[in-house]
Amino acid sequence: MTDIAALARGCAILGTGGGGDVRTGSLAAVRAVREYGEVPLVELADLPEDALVVPLSGIGAPTVSHEMIHSEEEPKRIAEEVERLFGRPPTAIMSSEIGGANGVAPVAWAAQLGLPLLDADGMGRAFPEVQMVSMYVAGLPANLVIMSDVAGNVVTIRPVDGLWSERLARAVCVASGSHALMADYVLTAARARGAVIEGTVTRALDVGRATEGAPDPLRALQDRLGAVRLITGKLTDVERRTTGGFVRGTATVEGTGDDRGRSLALELQNENLVAVENGRVRAMVPDLITVVDTETAAAVQTESLRYGQRVTVLAWPCDPLWRTPKGLETAGPRAFGYELDYVPVEELTAHG
Amino acid sequence: MTDIAALARGCAILGTGGGGDVRTGSLAAVRAVREYGEVPLVELADLPEDALVVPLSGIGAPTVSHEMIHSEEEPKRIAEEVERLFGRPPTAIMSSEIGGANGVAPVAWAAQLGLPLLDADGMGRAFPEVQMVSMYVAGLPANLVIMSDVAGNVVTIRPVDGLWSERLARAVCVASGSHALMADYVLTAARARGAVIEGTVTRALDVGRATEGAPDPLRALQDRLGAVRLITGKLTDVERRTTGGFVRGTATVEGTGDDRGRSLALELQNENLVAVENGRVRAMVPDLITVVDTETAAAVQTESLRYGQRVTVLAWPCDPLWRTPKGLETAGPRAFGYELDYVPVEELTAHG
């Protein structure tokens, strides 16, 4: 799996603005592959039943994490703790979240550990909170989190549920300087079946390659994603603040060209969560909403939103898992404090 | 070790205002002993070399902890985690901090676990921060903290040093609702020698009994402690605030009787840290400063300080361990942000 540039582009698109700056993840991945060699991509079906899969992600505020110096010791300390707790070493690394830096950086972590990367993740996108993973939605008890930080501290959390997992992991993250590496759940391959979203590394690579050499990159990306174009215009208002390990804020896109006179507001919480036009919701979490550069179709992540940028906002359907009652309870609009009943993006835009 | 009332009185005196409300610890101890039976007191010399000693303490802000409901599951979850990590169960419980509730509550935890209590602690008094323990001063690596909370969460911290231990444990404590039970270090008896302060449970019992039936309780207590009387008067000003799991503030005692015209200010950070009269320091941490009721000689803990109380402030020398360079670096006045060079209370009061 050599095409880290394409993977990074794809992960940025699937990150819906969040998941950490893909440039950090890419640099780390390129450097680690150069030093330790290629990372094989494996499928779940290829692993023995008792193989240990370690889902890893960076946890923290994007505006902090892309400035942080990462340590190669972090994945090693987590692998050591896994071996201490389970009596055997990890078999494969998995990305907890394919969106953003957390989709790319696992290549670095896998390379450093000399382990393969599983072609799967726990979100199929990016989400801001620890319990918002497919394993939780699939009903696996959220009973183990292992964290390591750049200072060398290792913290193992045995939470009573996913909400405590998030609360405690976030507190540790903030105390560690608003960034840490985290293994959330350690899964046998047997337990991972049906509890992870398979094929998402391949999907990210595929999305990242869609724009390569395309005469109309935006069109090519939109087709590959099966996305609706919500607006094309320029960013006129960006308001962000970092609190408690999160970036929250709003961004407004004023339409240009065919969209002149229209205006779309995005609600952000690390990721783009809700898109509103004239008081009418056009797309909402857990469906994916990504801001891209209108010309290149490259994703514009939350921390890079700037006044005056020429952008297009795309939206497309999430993995069906997130549309189940447990999925919506975990990561639907109300899980983020919006008093909205979830309506799929296809319906919202079909009625437009 | 039946005399929980005397133990509680002694622990309150040794708590220098902090360590949590002894009433909470006493109630829990009385109840647990009634249900599970007496707790034997053992000496370090009685334990086999590889016996596991688990130093336990409640961590949190006193103003929160005395209102919290504790769970009997907390010590059990810590004991389970110790067994999981070390492959054998704990042999004895130790109080991390003999001062305040943390000196009394270990009787409850030991009873619930059916284990003896070691006649020792890690402070010989109370201190507000996790790394301020004799094990740290003795140079044992601060590399393991196990915490459990009332919700049932268990967090294991492998910090790189004592300061990270404090920082991470405090963050977990605040996330857990500003109270948690904590095992800080797990020691073999062999490692505990010279690294714990022995005899302090007996000392607390002894101090607690000093006032029993004494015609002049204050005099009896002062003699037993070898304490200097800094002032007798009434509390005229008490200012406290709870931030980040700590109680901070100041209290002023205006002299009465022979001390009329004098005034003593106490600086608080869970414990009484510095006593100042007319800009002159009369006693400072790590020496012990305790406010007692002038009539009964019972300790007045930080959270119980009230305007108008008739009190006497006593001060006496700390364990010699705290006067070593490492001891002062860990818990001397500068460790609490005071720009003061440590001078022993005997010298400060001799020159008065």
The CB density around residue A41, as the number of other CB atoms within 10 Å, is 17
Structure tokens at A333: 């609009």
- Mark yes or no for CB contact B174/A174 under 8 Å: no
Q: Across residues A207-228, what is the average pLDDT?
A: 96
Query: DSSP letter at A207?
Result: H
Average pLDDT on B182-200 reads 95
Strand bridging mode B92-95 / A263-269: unpaired
pLDDT at B351 over 70: no
Token pair recorded at residue A121? 């993740």
By DSSP bridging, strand B187-188 and strand A187-188 are unpaired
The tens digit of pLDDT for each residue in A27-53 reads 889 999 999 999 999 999 999 999 999
Ranking A240-244, A265-269, B104-108, B199-203 by mean pLDDT, the lowest is A240-244
As a whole number, mean pLDDT of residues B231-253 equals 86
- Could you tell me how far CA B82 lies from the centroid of its own chain? 23
Strands annotated E in B167-326: 179-184, 187-188, 197-198, 228-243, 246-255, 263-269, 271-277, 280-284, 288-293, 310-316
Which residues in chain B have Cβ-Cβ distances shorter than 8 Å to A160? 151-153
**B2-39 pLDDT, tens per residue?**
799 999 999 999 999 887 788 888 988 999 999 999 99
Q: Residue B352 — pLDDT band, cuts 50, 70, 90?
A: very low
The Cα B123–Cα B95 span in angstroms is: 9
Cβ contact, residue pair A153, B164, below 8 Å: yes
Residue A58 pLDDT grade (very low, low, confident, very high; cuts 50, 70, 90): confident
- For chain A, the C-alpha Rg in angstroms (whole number) is 19
Q: Which two tokens stand for residue A201?
A: 């590394």
DSSP secondary-structure letter at A339?
-
Nearest to B259 by CA among B315, B311, B317: B311
Q: Look at strands B117-121 and B92-95 and give their pairing.
A: parallel
Cα separations (Å) of B153 from A273, B64, B146, B286? 30, 19, 11, 33
- Whether the pLDDT of residue A246 is over 90: the answer is no
Question: For B157, which of A153, A164, A174 is closest by C-beta distance?
Answer: A153
Q: Are A105 and A29 in contact (CB under 8 A)?
A: yes
Residues of A in contact with B179 (CB under 8 A): none
**Helical segments of B146-280, H only:** 162-175, 189-192, 200-210, 217-225
Is the CB of B175 less than 8 angstroms away from the CB of A170?
A: yes
B interface with A, Cβ–Cβ below 8 Å: 81, 84-85, 151-160, 164, 167-168, 170-172, 174-176
- What is the mean predicted confidence (pLDDT) over B77-94? 96
**Does the pLDDT value for residue A131 go beyond 90?**
no
Average pLDDT of the residues of chain A: 92
Task: Look at B23 and A89; give whichever has higher pLDDT.
Answer: A89
Is B345's pLDDT higher than 70? Answer: yes
| Confidence at residue A67, expressed as pLDDT on a 0 to 100 scale | 40
pLDDT in tens, A304-325: 899 999 999 999 999 999 999 9
Taken in order of first residue, the domains within chain B and their CATH numbers are: 4-201 (3.40.1610.10), 218-350 (2.40.390.10)
Residue B86 has pLDDT above 70, yes or no: yes
Q: What percent of chain A has pLDDT over 70?
A: 95
Q: How does pLDDT run across B109-161, given as a tens digit for each residue?
A: 999 999 999 999 999 999 988 789 999 999 998 889 999 999 999 999 999 98
3-class DSSP state for residue A288? Answer: strand
- Of A154-158, B228-232, B239-243, the poorest mean pLDDT is in B239-243
Mutate to test the interface with B, among A73, A168, A173, A178 (most CBs of B within 10 A): A168
Please check the confidence at residue A244 and state whether its pLDDT lies above 80: no
Using only the alpha carbons of chain B, give its radius of gyration. Answer: 19
pLDDT score recorded for residue B65 = 45
Instruction: Band the pLDDT of A21: cuts 50, 70, 90.
Output: confident
Work out the percent of chain B whose per-residue pLDDT is above 90.
Answer: 78
Determine the Cα–Cα distance for residues B31 and B70; give it in Å rounded to an integer: 12
Is it the case that residue A68 has pLDDT exceeding 60?
Answer: no
Percent of chain A with pLDDT over 90: 78
Sorted by sequence, the CB contacts under 8 Å of residue A244 that are 6+ apart come out as A170, A174
Contact call for A174 and B172, based on CB within 8 A: no
Q: β-pairing, A228-243 with A310-316?
A: antiparallel
Question: Could you report the predicted ipTM of this complex, rounded to two decimals?
Answer: 0.78
CA distance A302 to chain B (A): 27
> Which amino acid is located at B9 in the chain?
R
pLDDT, residue B67, reads 40
Tokens of A12: 């940025």
Q: How confident is the model at residue A119 (pLDDT cuts 50, 70, 90)?
A: very high
Higher per-residue pLDDT: B63 or B348: B348
- Answer yes or no: is pLDDT of B64 > 50: no
Testing the interface with A: which of B86, B131, B149, B153 to mutate, by most A Cβ within 10 A? B153
| pLDDT surpassing 60 at residue A155 | yes
Say if residue A64's pLDDT is above 90: no
Listed ranges A166-175, A312-321, B21-30, B296-305; the one with the highest mean pLDDT:
A312-321
The stretch A336-343 carries a mean pLDDT of: 95
Residue A41 forms beta bridges with which residues?
Answer: A117
CA neighbor of B102 nearest in space, from B81, B124, B72, B69: B124
Q: B61 falls in which pLDDT band (50, 70, 90)? A: low
**Residue B96 DSSP symbol:** S
> Is the distance from CB of B121 to CB of B41 less than 8 angstroms?
no
Q: What CA–CA distance (Å, rounded) separates A15 from A7?
A: 12
Type and span of the H or E element at A235: strand A228-243
Express as a percent the part of chain B with pLDDT over 70. 95
pLDDT average, residue stretch B274-285:
96
What's residue B166's pLDDT?
87
Residue in B159, B160, B172 closest to A168 by CB: B172
